[in-house]
Every structure is written in structure tokens, then in C-alpha cells.
Amino acid sequence: MSKLKDRIEEINKTVQKSRRINNLLWIVVIIFVGTSIYFAIDAELSRQTAIEEKNKADLLVIKNDSLYQEALIAKNQLVINDSLKEVEIQQLLAASNLDLWDQTKKTNSLIAYSDYLEKTPDSIAQVNAALNSYFNKEGYVQLVETNGNSLIVDVSLSLEGEYAKFKTDRSVRNGAIGVDNAGSSNPRRIGVVFKGQIFKIEKTFPSKSSNSQSVWALIKYKQ
């Protein structure tokens, strides 16, 4: 009887132990399942968040691309408008310069040609061609007397070359007096340059004598 009782107690202890182990296993299983569910839910939430962020990024890219395209279109339009304005300005300037040139030719003076060249620096060839027609005479004149007295006043113009005017009326000759290789060896009077009349100095001929400061010049002038 005592052995049977002991056996029963032993069986009960074994059953209780098995129950504890089984309960512990269930707890482990529940924890594992719970953890798996938690991580699965967290992963799904992370995936959803990532999808949402990607969608936002895609929308932002689309929006930025749209803004870029709009900016590019606006820039191109601005360039076109600027080009059209530049063409209009050039046309207006060309028309204005044409009117100015017509007025300059009508005035037909060295000061007028100089003023025109100041306003239109690229017209140098056009102005020079006009000056070739303007100067219809050339000859030799004395600029400085033997004693060093200057007979001229320098004139500042925007034209190419050196310009001056006389303080009094001066004779123009076909050669320089007392100067070799400067026109005719027997100079005679061929014209006159009036006081204040502007002329162009082509070449100067300083006296070679140590006792003279005389300077003659070949000039172009209008008569």
C-alpha cells in the first residue's frame, strides 16, 4: 500500500512537472508568436511609410520637374523677347543713324563729320570716304615762321589725322619755299586758306637750317 501511494505521488509530481514545462513552452510560443506578429506589423508599417515617402518624393520630383520646365520656358521666352528688342533697337539705331548721316552730309563740314564719328565709331570707313570727297584741294603752306612764330592753332577732332586752322588768311603754293623735295622747286600761289578754316596736315617739312625754325606742310583743304 505504501509503495502504491509513493508511486501515485511520483506520478503526480511528474504530471505537475510536465504541466509546468508545457505551460512554460506555451508561454515561449506565445511570446515568439507575439514578437513575430509585432515585427511583422512593424515591418508592414515601415513598408507603408517607405511607400508613402517614395510617393511624396516622386510627387516632389514631378513638381520640381514641372517648375523647372516652366522656368526653362520662361527663360527661353525672355531670351526671345530680348533678341526681338535688340533687333528693334538696332533697327531704330540704323534708321536714326541714317537720318543723322543725311544731315551730316548736308552740313558737309569737318566738325559735322567729327560729331557723327563720335556718335557712330563704327562708321570710320564711311566718314573717311566722305572726307576724300570733301577735300578737293591740296598744296603747301607755312605753319611756323623762321623766328619760331606759329601761324596756326591746333584743332581737336575725332577724325583720323592732324587738323589745324590759320590765325590769318594764308596763301597755298604748289611747293614749299626753301625746302627740297616738297613740291615745285619754283613755288607759286595756287589758292588760299582763310582765317579759321580747318585743314588737314598731311606731311610736315621742318627747315634743315640751324638758323631757321620754319616749318612747311603739305595740306588738304576745301575750296
For residues 188 and 171, is the Cβ–Cβ distance under 8 A? no
Average pLDDT estimate for 198-208: 96
For residues 123 and 117, is the Cβ–Cβ distance under 8 A? yes
Report how many helices (DSSP H) and strands (DSSP E) the chain contains, helices first: 3, 7
Supply the pTM of this predicted model: 0.57
For residues 2 and 10, is the Cβ–Cβ distance under 8 A? no
Centre a 10 Å sphere on the Cβ of residue 151 and count the other Cβ atoms it contains. Answer: 15
Is residue 78 classed exposed, middle or buried when 0-12, 13-18 and 19+ CB atoms within 10 A define those classes?
A: exposed
Looking at the predicted structure, is the pLDDT value of residue 18 above 90? no
The share of the chain scoring above pLDDT 90, in percent, equals 52
How confident is the model at residue 76, as a pLDDT? Answer: 72
Can you tell me the distance from the alpha carbon of 106 to that of 98, in angstroms, rounded to the nearest whole number? 12
How confident is the model at residue 92, as a pLDDT? Answer: 46
pLDDT tens track for 133-143: 999 999 999 99
Can you tell me the distance from the alpha carbon of 199 to that of 191, in angstroms, rounded to the nearest whole number? 13
How confident is the model at residue 51, as a pLDDT? Answer: 76
**DSSP one-letter code for 69:** H
Looking at the predicted structure, is the pLDDT value of residue 87 above 70? no
User: Which of 14-18, 90-94, 162-166, 211-215 is least confident?
Assistant: 90-94
C-alpha closest to that of 187 among 200, 197, 177? 177
What stretch of H or E contains 16?
helix 2-107
CA 36, distance to chain mean position in Å, is 69
Can you tell me the distance from the alpha carbon of 109 to that of 134, in angstroms, rounded to the nearest whole number? 8
Going by pLDDT thresholds of 50, 70 and 90, the confidence category of residue 85 is: very low
Return the ∠ at Cα 82 (arms to 81 and 84), rounded to 5°: 65
The share of the chain scoring above pLDDT 70, in percent, equals 70
